[in-house]
Chain A
Amino acid sequence: MTSELLSGNESVARGAWEAGARVGVGYPGTPSTQALEVFARMDDVYAEWAPNEKVALEVAAGVSMGGARSLVTMKHVGVNVAADPLLTLAYTGVGGGLVVFVADDPGMHSSQNEQDSRNWGPFARIPVLEPSDSAEALAFTRAAFELSERFDTPVLVRATTRISHSKGVVELDGERVVPESGDYVKDACKWVMMPAMARARRLAVDARVAALSSFAEECVFNRAELRDPSVGIVTSGVCYEYVREALPDASVFKVGLSFPLPAEALARFADSVERLAVVEEAEEYLLGGLLRLGLAVDRIDLPGTGELSPALIARALGAEAAPVRDRVEGLPPRPPLMCPGCPHRGAYHALRKAKAIVTGDIGCYTLGALAPLASMDSCVCMGAGVGMAHGMRLAGVGDDRPVVAVIGDSTFAHSGLPALANLAYNGSDATVCILDNRITAMTGHQENPVSGCTLQGRPTVEMDLEGVCRAMGVKRVRTLDPHAIDDAIAAVREEVAAKELSVIIFRAPCALLIREKEQPYAVDEDTCTACGVCISIGCPAISRLEDGRARIDITLCVGCADCVKVCRFSAIDLTGPACDIGGV
C-alpha cells in the first residue's frame, strides 16, 4: 500500500478519479482551484475550465444526463452563480453521478464574503458531505458518486480553506473503476422541468430526502465517539480535528453527512452526555439543526466569524490559555500588492489622471483599490462593476467626474458579457475598461476563453473581445497597451468625454507570464526632484527615501519602464556602467 502527502484538493481529484469520473469541469476560485487542475492531469479523464460556475454545472448536467460521472469544482461564491441549475437539478436528479465540490473560506483569506455552503443542503434538498482531512476528502468524494446515483441526486462535497490547502497522509490503494454508462434514454418527466413535470419531481425530492434521512442514521461518515460523558461535542469538517486536539477526552459526535442530519443518532448521543455543545465555523448550521431536533444545547462562547483553532475551542470550554509572548507593537501591515511590471498599473494611472470614479471587480486588479493607487471605488462580486457603472450614471453621478468600470478578461467572460449587453441595449454612456492580461491571474494563472489554450493544454480559439463588444452594439471600442502610459492617459480622456458607451481594452500579458526580465532601471539622484509621481504608481521595486527621492531595487525591477514614462524629469534610466547611479 502506498501513501502520500496530499492536500484536500488533490484528494478530491483522486477520489473523483477513483470513482470513475470521466469529466471534470469548474471555474477557478481560491481555495478550490487545484482540485480541477490536479484532476485534469490524471489518466483517462477530460477536464475543462468553463467561463463560469453556472456553465460548469450545466456541462456536468449534460454529462450526467448522458450517463457518465462528472466532478464540478468551485469556490463558495461560485455556488451562487451555479444556484439556478443546482436548485432544479435537485428536482431532475441525475443519470451518471454528479458531484459538486465547493470550498468555503472562513476568515476570508481570499474571498469577498464568508457564506457557509452547508446551507445549500436544506435549501436545495441535496446531500452534503463534509470531510475533516485529506484522507476523508478522497473517501467522501469517491462515496459521493455512489450516493449521487443511489439516491438520484447531485451531491455537494464541502471543504474549507484548511481542508483544501492542508496536506495530510493519504493511503492510495483505491483503483479507478469506471462504471459502464448506459445509453441515453429519453425521459421527459425527469429532464423537462415544466410545471406539470416539476410538480411530480418535487414529490420525488421529498421521498429522496426521507430516504436519505434514514440512510444518515447508518451512514459511516457520522460517528459517535463516546469518551468522558461530562461533555459531548457535535462538530464537523476541520473543526473535528481541532476538537480532538483541544479536548482529547471529550465525547464527540462527528458529522460527516451534514444534510440530512441523523436525527436519532444525534438524540442518542445527546442522551449519553451531560452537556451538549456545538463547535463549528462560519454559520450556526449544526446548531440550528440540533435546535430544530429539540435537543438542549449549551451555547459556548466562540466567535461567529473567522476561523476557529484548538486553543479557541479549549478556552471556550474552560481550559486555561497557554503563556504567550508579547506582540511587537507598531509593525506595518503587509497587504498584497501588484507585482513589478503588472500591466494593470498603467491602466489605473490613466484612470486616476482622469479623476474617474471606478466601479471595480474581482481579480489582481482589485489591488488597485489599495494605496498608493487607491483608484477603485467598489468591488462586490464578479461582473458587478459593469452594471454598477450604469447604475451610478442613472443615479446622476458622473457629470463632473467620469464613471468607469474596470473588469479583467476572465471576469468579463465569466459575467461581464451580459452586463455589457445591458449597457449597450439601454444606451448607457459609461466607459468600460477590460484589463486583458490574457489569463486568470489572481487564482494562479488558469486559462480562460481569451487565452488560446485549454485546461489540458490544447490550443484553441481566442475570444475576439473587440468583435464581441461591437457585436453587442458598442460603437467606440479601442485597444491599447497599458504600458504605453501617455497613450493610455489620452485614450481614457477621450473615451470618458464621449457622450456614448465606450470600451477600452488594455491588453498586455501578466508580468508573471514573462520569463525573460528586461534590464532594470535606476534613479539618478541628482535629477530626481522628489516629486513622488513614480512612488504613486505603487511598484514594489520603488521606494521613497527619507528626503522624498525615489530608489529602485534592481533585484525586483523587471524593466517594464512604467516609472520611466511617468517621470517628468527624466530621472530614471537604464542601469549599467554609464548610469550606475542612485539605484541599489
Chain B
Amino acid sequence: MADPTTTVMLAGVGGQGTILAADVLAKTARAAGFDVKLSEVHGMAQRGGSVDTVVRFGDRVHAPITDHGHADHLVAFEVTEAARQLPFLKPGGRLLVNSRVIDPMPVLIGDLPRTDGVEEALVEEGVVFIDAEELACEAGSPRSANIVLLGALSTGLPFPRGVWAGVIERRVPPATVEANLRAFDLGRRACGEEGECLL
C-alpha cells in the first residue's frame, strides 16, 4: 500500500531557525487543505545541540514523528546534521543541504577531528547543496536562510507559491516580509522540481 502521507524532516543546529521554518511549512500544508502534524524539540538541544523537526501532511496523519527510511524530504541546515539524519531519508527521497559546516564543541576544542568526506558521502546520496546564507544576504536579510531553504523545498511540494507567501507574510517580523519573500524565491530558483540544482 502506498503511504499517502508526505514526511519532511528539517535538521539543523539549535538556534538556526528550524522551528520557524517547520511552522511555516506546516501552516502552508494546512492552508493548502491537508491534515498536518509537526513535532519539534525544545529545551536542552536548543542550546546549540542537534535539532530535528518533522512535518507530515496528507489526508489523515497519525504519528507526528518518523522513522529511519521514511522521510520523503530531508532539508538540512548544516552539513554534519545532514549526514547525521541521513538514515531517515527514504531511498529515492530528496536531500537538500545548506552548504555550511558548524563545528560542534568537540571539534572546536580539538578533541575530535572534523569528519572527512562528509560532502562526498552526501553527493553519493544525490544531495542538492544550497548556499542559503549567501542567498539570504542577497535577499537582504542574513537571518532568512531558513526561508531560502523552504523556497528550495517548495519546488518538490504540491503547494502554490501564493499559499507559501501568505503564510510567510503572517509569520515573519513585518519589517522583514519583503526580504523573506525574496529569500523564498531565490531558494525556489536554486532548486528545480526534480531536485536538480539550477544555479
- Chain A residues at the B interface, C-beta cutoff of 8 Å: 5, 30-31, 33-34, 109-110, 133, 161-162, 165-169, 238, 241-242, 244-245, 307, 309-312, 321-328, 330-339, 364, 367, 370-372, 442-444, 535-536, 538, 540, 542-544, 548
Chain B, 4-25, contact with A by CB distance < 8 Å: what is the 0/1 string? 0000000001100000000100
User: Smallest distance from the beta carbon of B62 to chain A beta carbons, Å?
Assistant: 4
User: Smallest distance from the beta carbon of A3 to chain B beta carbons, Å?
Assistant: 8
Residue of B nearest to A242 (CB): B63
Report, nearest first, the 5 A-B pairs whose CB atoms are least far apart: A110-B43, A30-B43, A311-B67, A166-B64, A322-B69
Q: Is A323 within 8 A of B91, CB to CB?
A: yes
* 10 residue pairs A–B, Cβ–Cβ below 8 Å: A5-B36, A5-B38, A31-B42, A166-B38, A167-B26, A168-B38, A335-B104, A444-B46, A540-B48, A544-B109
- The answer, yes or no, to whether B89 is at the interface (CB within 8 Å) is yes
- The answer, yes or no, to whether B154 is at the interface (CB within 8 Å) is no
- A-side contacts of B40, CB under 8 Å: 165-167
Q: Is A371 within 8 A of B115, CB to CB?
A: no
Q: How far is the CA of A540 from the CA of B113 in the complex (A)?
A: 16
A166-B39, A324-B68, A335-B49 given as contacts; is B63 within 8 A of A542 (CB)? no
Partner of B44, one of A33, A311, A336: A336
Interface size on B, residues (CB 8 A): 57
Q: Is A311 within 8 A of B104, CB to CB?
A: no
Q: Is A109 within 8 A of B105, CB to CB?
A: no
Partner of B115, one of A30, A238, A332: A332
A110-B43, A168-B37 given as contacts; is B14 within 8 A of A241 (CB)? no
Q: Is A245 within 8 A of B105, CB to CB?
A: no
User: Smallest distance from the beta carbon of B171 to chain A beta carbons, Å?
Assistant: 12
Q: Is A167 within 8 A of B36, CB to CB?
A: yes
- The answer, yes or no, to whether B189 is at the interface (CB within 8 Å) is no
Q: Is A332 within 8 A of B114, CB to CB?
A: yes
- A-side contacts of B65, CB under 8 Å: 162, 166, 307, 309
Chain B CB count within 10 A is highest, among A33, A166, A244, A311, for A166
Q: Is A311 within 8 A of B70, CB to CB?
A: yes
User: Smallest distance from the beta carbon of B142 to chain A beta carbons, Å?
Assistant: 9
- A-side contacts of B106, CB under 8 Å: 332-333, 335, 371
- B-side contacts of A327, CB under 8 Å: 86-87
- The answer, yes or no, to whether B112 is at the interface (CB within 8 Å) is yes
Q: Is B83 within 8 A of A337, CB to CB?
A: no
Chain B, 58-78, contact with A by CB distance < 8 Å: what is the 0/1 string? 000111111111100000000
| 7 further contact pairs, Cβ within 8 A, besides A109-B45, A322-B69 | A5-B27, A31-B43, A110-B43, A162-B65, A333-B104, A335-B106, A337-B49
Q: How far is the CA of A141 from the CA of B104 in the complex (A)?
A: 41
A5-B27, A110-B45, A322-B70 given as contacts; is B107 within 8 A of A165 (CB)? no
- Chain B residues at the A interface, C-beta cutoff of 8 Å: 13-14, 23, 26-27, 30, 35-50, 61-70, 80-81, 83-84, 86-87, 89-91, 103-115, 118, 121, 125
Q: Is B80 within 8 A of A332, CB to CB?
A: yes
Q: Is B91 within 8 A of A309, CB to CB?
A: no
- B-side contacts of A338, CB under 8 Å: 47
Q: How far is the CA of A33 from the CA of B45 in the complex (A)?
A: 15
A165-B41, A337-B47, A535-B109 given as contacts; is B87 within 8 A of A325 (CB)? yes
- B-side contacts of A162, CB under 8 Å: 39, 64-65
- A-side contacts of B112, CB under 8 Å: 332
Per DSSP, chain A at the interface is loop
A168-B36, A323-B69, A324-B68 given as contacts; is B62 within 8 A of A331 (CB)? no
Q: How far is the CA of A333 from the CA of B81 in the complex (A)?
A: 10
Q: Is A367 within 8 A of B47, CB to CB?
A: yes
Chain B CB count within 10 A is highest, among A109, A165, A327, for A165
Q: Is B38 within 8 A of A364, CB to CB?
A: no
User: Smallest distance from the beta carbon of B28 to chain A beta carbons, Å?
Assistant: 11
Residue of A nearest to B95 (CB): A325
- A-side contacts of B26, CB under 8 Å: 5, 167
- A-side contacts of B66, CB under 8 Å: 309
Q: Is A339 within 8 A of B48, CB to CB?
A: yes
Q: How far is the CA of A168 from the CA of B106 in the complex (A)?
A: 37
Q: How far is the CA of A238 from the CA of B112 in the complex (A)?
A: 38
Q: How far is the CA of A162 from the CA of B44 in the complex (A)?
A: 15
Partner of A165, one of B42, B87, B114: B42
Chain A CB count within 10 A is highest, among B65, B84, B107, B112, for B65
- A-side contacts of B37, CB under 8 Å: 133, 166-168
Q: How far is the CA of A244 from the CA of B35 in the complex (A)?
A: 15
